[in-house]
């Protein structure tokens, strides 16, 4: 019961008992991690006598936390079925992700827009993972903004900063990312459109 209560602090309460059962059934070490800039969650397969390990960032909103958790458990199930003989987000993983997401879709634990985004994603075989842009954008509607904006919301040439204090000027979009110039060292960096940034000013050039 304690496990369910802890999980319910980070995900929709009705989903917590299911995830608690998965943790016990797969004998998985499940860790709620500090925010990591490069990933939302992580799965590590059994190695040298240690079992499955899953970690999910603690700063995610409840719906993003649950989607990420299911994403990582789909990796676990795929490893059990195929070991490392298939692609990380290949057909086998997609099938398992859909199977493991179904109970939550049936329970309707997600808001209508998130539920529809997940259903659309599950019907899209070209998507490489559950963090595709449309689903991620929908999930971010439920974030606590805390004064931050998404990079895609800013006008071109807007000046912004990131968590480490560095300042950038927003440039043109190149395929899936924005080309931004760091004002502190002059280097060019590519940013995800959904990156959360703090706006300073908007420049005309």
Does residue 26 have a pLDDT over 90? yes
Give the residue carrying structure tokens 């859909």.
98
Which residue range is the domain that position 127 belongs to? 2-140
Residues 29 and 94 in one domain: yes
Q: Which two tokens stand for residue 155?
A: 């006008």
Q: Is the pLDDT of residue 24 over 90?
A: yes
Q: Are residues 135 and 75 in the same domain?
A: yes
Q: Are residues 109 and 18 in the same domain?
A: yes
Domain of 180: which CATH number?
2.30.30
Rg (CA), the chain: 19
Structural domain ending residue among the three candidates 140, 160, 188 = 140
pLDDT number for residue 155: 86
- Pairing, β 53-57 against β 29-33: parallel
User: Which of residues 61 and 144 earns the better pLDDT score?
Assistant: 61
Confidence of residue 68 (pLDDT cuts 50, 70, 90): very high
The yes-or-no verdict on residue 129 having pLDDT over 90 is: no
In this structure, the answer to whether residues 32 and 132 fall within a common structural domain is yes
User: Do both 59 and 121 map to the same domain?
Assistant: yes
pLDDT band per the 50, 70, 90 thresholds, residue 131: low
Confidence check: pLDDT of 72 > 90: yes
- Of 116, 140, 164, the one marking the end of a domain is 140
Phi, psi (deg, nearest 5) at residue 8 = -65, -15
Per the structure, the count of domains in the chain is 2
Band of residue 17 on the pLDDT scale cut at 50, 70, 90: very high
Q: How far apart are the first and last CA of the chain?
A: 58
Q: Is 10 exposed, middle or buried (0-12, 13-18, 19+ CB in 10 A)?
A: buried
- Classified as helix, coil or strand, 135 is helix
pTM (global) more than 0.85: no
Q: How confident is the model at residue 134 (pLDDT cuts 50, 70, 90)?
A: confident
pLDDT for 62 equals 95
Other Cβ atoms within 10 Å of 110 Cβ, number? 24
> What are 162's two structure tokens?
């990131």
Question: What does pLDDT average to over the chain?
Answer: 88
Q: Which two tokens stand for residue 25?
A: 């059934």
Q: How far apart are CA 142 and CA 109, in angstroms?
A: 14
Q: Name the band, by pLDDT with cuts 50, 70 and 90, for residue 127.
A: low
Residue that is last in its domain, among 122, 140, 158:
140
Does residue 197 surpass a pLDDT of 80?
A: yes
């Amino acid at each position: 019961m304690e496990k369910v209560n802890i999980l319910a602090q980070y995900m929709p309460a009705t989903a917590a008992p299911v995830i608690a059962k998965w943790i016990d059934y797969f004998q998985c070490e499940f860790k709620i991690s500090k925010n990591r800039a490069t990933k939302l969650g992580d799965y590590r397969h059994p190695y040298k006598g240690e079992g499955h390990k899953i970690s999910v960032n603690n700063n995610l909103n409840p719906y993003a936390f649950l989607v990420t958790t299911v994403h990582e458990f789909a990796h676990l199930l795929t490893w059990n079925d195929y070991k490392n003989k298939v692609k990380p987000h290949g057909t086998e993983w997609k099938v398992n992700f859909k199977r493991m997401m179904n109970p939550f879709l049936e329970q309707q634990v997600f808001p209508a827009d998130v539920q529809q985004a997940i259903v659309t994603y599950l019907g899209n075989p070209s998507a490489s993972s559950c963090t595709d842009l449309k689903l991620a954008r929908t999930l971010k509607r439920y974030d606590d903004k805390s004064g931050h904006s998404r990079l895609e919301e800013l006008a071109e040439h807007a000046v912004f900063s990131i968590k480490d204090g560095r300042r950038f000027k927003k440039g043109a979009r190149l395929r899936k990312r924005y080309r931004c110039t760091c004002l502190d060292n002059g280097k060019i960096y590519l940013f995800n459109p959904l990156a959360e940034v703090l706006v300073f000013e908007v420049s005309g050039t």
